[in-house]
Structure 1
C-alpha cells in the first residue's frame, strides 16, 4: 500500500497491519503523546463492562481494549482482518479466560444475528473499505436493545487546536514516525486516512442509516477523537421488517 492509496483494498490493508503489528501499540502511544490510555479509559467507561456482558471488539488490533473490557468482567470476542494483529493479541492476551480472538472481515461478520450486548470498534472503522456495510453488520449481530460504541479520530472543533493538530500531523509526526515506526510508509497512509475521515455529524448520520437510535457523540481532546454511540431498537422498526 502506497502512502497515497486510500482505496483501502482489504488485502492491502491486511498486509499493512501485518507489517506493523509488532510495534503498533508502542508507536501509537508515542505518536499520541501519551493520550491513548485516556481514550481507552473513556471507551471502557462508556461501555461500562460487567460480568455476563457479551462484547464484540471489531478491528481489535493487538487486543488492548478487549483486555480492558475482559478485566472488568465482560466476555469479549476480538476480531481483526489482520492475522498478524490477531497473532499479537493471542500472544499477549490469549490466556485470558474471558477473551476469544479470531480473524475476520468487519463487512461479513461470522456471527449469528442478535448475538452481542455491545459491539465496539476503536480506531479501526476508518480502515474498512466499506464502513457503512461494517456498521450494518455490527447492527445485525447486536441484540435488540444493545449498543454500539465507536472510538475514532475525528476533527477538532476549535480553530486554534485544529491548526496545531494539522501542523503536528503534517510536520512533526512524519519525523517521529521515522524514528519509532517499523514501517513509516504505512503511517503515511494512516495519517491521510485520518484527515480524509468524515466529521462527527456525518459519521453520526451513518449510524442512523444503519438503524441505530439514540445516536450521539462526545468529543475527546477537543474533537481530535470522538466517541460515537447508538442503540439498536428493542423492537424492529418498519424499515427493518421490510429488509
Structure 2
C-alpha cells in the first residue's frame, strides 16, 4: 500500500470509528498524554488523533502520506482545535527535532519493508524529546494467524480466503525484529504486550456485513474484488453464531519505548 492507494480510496474509509476506552486507559497509563505534545504518524482519518486529544494532549500533530486521508481527517477532527495535520511520512515527517512528548505509529509499520524500519525508528527518535514515549502498534504473524470467532471477525477473512493470509503475513514483522531495531535506534526500556482492542459494536448482522463490503479501515480487503468481498460478508454472516449486539475485537502487539 502506498500514497497512490490511499489517495485513491474514499477519504472517509478511515474515519468515524470510536476508539476502545481500554486502549485509551492503556496509553494514558504508559505515556501520560495529558498536557503533552503528541504526534500521530500514519494518522489516516484522525481516529487516534482524536483519542490523543481526548486524553488531554495540549496539541496533536497528525502526519500522513496522503493528502486524501488528511482531507478526511480534517473533516473528522474539526471539533478539536488542538489537532492539526500535515503531509509527511514515517521516514521523513517534516517535523523539527525534539517536537514530541508522545509519538504514536499505529497500524503503520506493516506498510514498510524490513529494510525501511531502521530509518523509520531513527526518525521517531529524532522527533521525540529526551523523555518522550514512542508507541508502535501493529500485528505480528501470530496476531494475524488467530482463528476466527464471534468476536475475532478478522480470522474469518483468512479461513475463507487462505491466500489472503499469505499476503497479510508477508507484510508483517516479527516482535524480535521490532525489538532489535528499536534498540539500535537508541530506545530504552522497551515494553511489549499483546492487546485485544474492541474495534466496533454491531447492532445487527446487516450492519456487520455492510462494514465488510465497504472495507472500512481494512486495507487487506482491497486485495479482493467486489464480488469476493460480498461473498466474504455473506460467509461471515453464516459463521457468526452469537446474538447481536456483537463486539468485534482485534489482537495487536504494542511496543512502548522511551527515548
Q: Fold-level match, TM-score > 0.5?
A: yes
Q: Structure 2 CA distance, aligned partners of 1:134 and 1:231?
A: 15
Q: Among residues 166, 177, 180, which one is paired with 1:202 in the alignment?
A: 177
Secondary structure in structure 2 of the residue aligned to 1:229: strand
Shift of 1:26: 7.1
Q: Structure 2 CA distance, aligned partners of 1:173 and 1:117?
A: 41
Q: Among residues 156, 163, 171, which one is paired with 2:159 in the alignment?
A: 171
Q: Which residue of 2 aligns with 1:229?
A: 256
Q: Structure 2 CA distance, aligned partners of 1:42 and 1:198?
A: 26
Secondary structure in structure 2 of the residue aligned to 1:148: strand
Change in CA separation of 1:124 and 1:21 when aligned onto 2, cut-off 3 Å: farther
1:198-229 residue CA offsets vs partner (Å, 9 max, x unmatched): 22222111111111010121111399311101
Instruction: State whether structure 2 residue 112 is matched by structure 1 residue 128.
Output: yes
1:125-180 residue CA offsets vs partner (Å, 9 max, x unmatched): 2213523211110111100121100111223379xx73547952423479xxxxxx
Please say if residues 103 and 133 of structure 2, whose CA atoms lie closer than 8 Å, have aligned partners that are also in contact: yes
Q: Among residues 110, 118, 123, which one is paired with 2:94 in the alignment?
A: 110
Aligned residues: 198
Q: Structure 2 CA distance, aligned partners of 1:169 and 1:114?
A: 41
Q: Among residues 185, 188, 191, which one is paired with 1:213 in the alignment?
A: 188
1:58-137 correspondence runs (5 A): 58-74=41-57, 75-129=59-113, 130-137=116-123
Change in CA separation of 1:44 and 1:173 when aligned onto 2, cut-off 3 Å: farther
Please say if residues 143 and 253 of structure 2, whose CA atoms lie closer than 8 Å, have aligned partners that are also in contact: no
1 or 2, which has the higher helix percentage?
A: 1
Q: Among residues 164, 167, 177, which one is paired with 1:192 in the alignment?
A: 167
Q: Which residue of 1 aligns with 2:124?
A: 138
Instruction: State whether structure 2 residue 3 is matched by structure 1 residue 19.
Output: no
RMSD, matched Cα: 3.2
Q: Structure 1 CA distance, aligned partners of 2:161 and 2:101?
A: 37
Please say if residues 154 and 199 of structure 1, whose CA atoms lie closer than 8 Å, have aligned partners that are also in contact: yes
TM-score of the superposition, structure 2-length normalised? 0.66
1:16-67 residue CA offsets vs partner (Å, 9 max, x unmatched): 112234342379x7xxxx9x7367435643433202x011100001001111
Secondary structure in structure 2 of the residue aligned to 1:226: strand
Shift of 1:196: 3.2
Deviation beyond 4 Å, 4+ runs, structure 1: 163-167
- What are structure 1's unaligned runs of at least 5 residues? 1-7, 175-187, 233-243
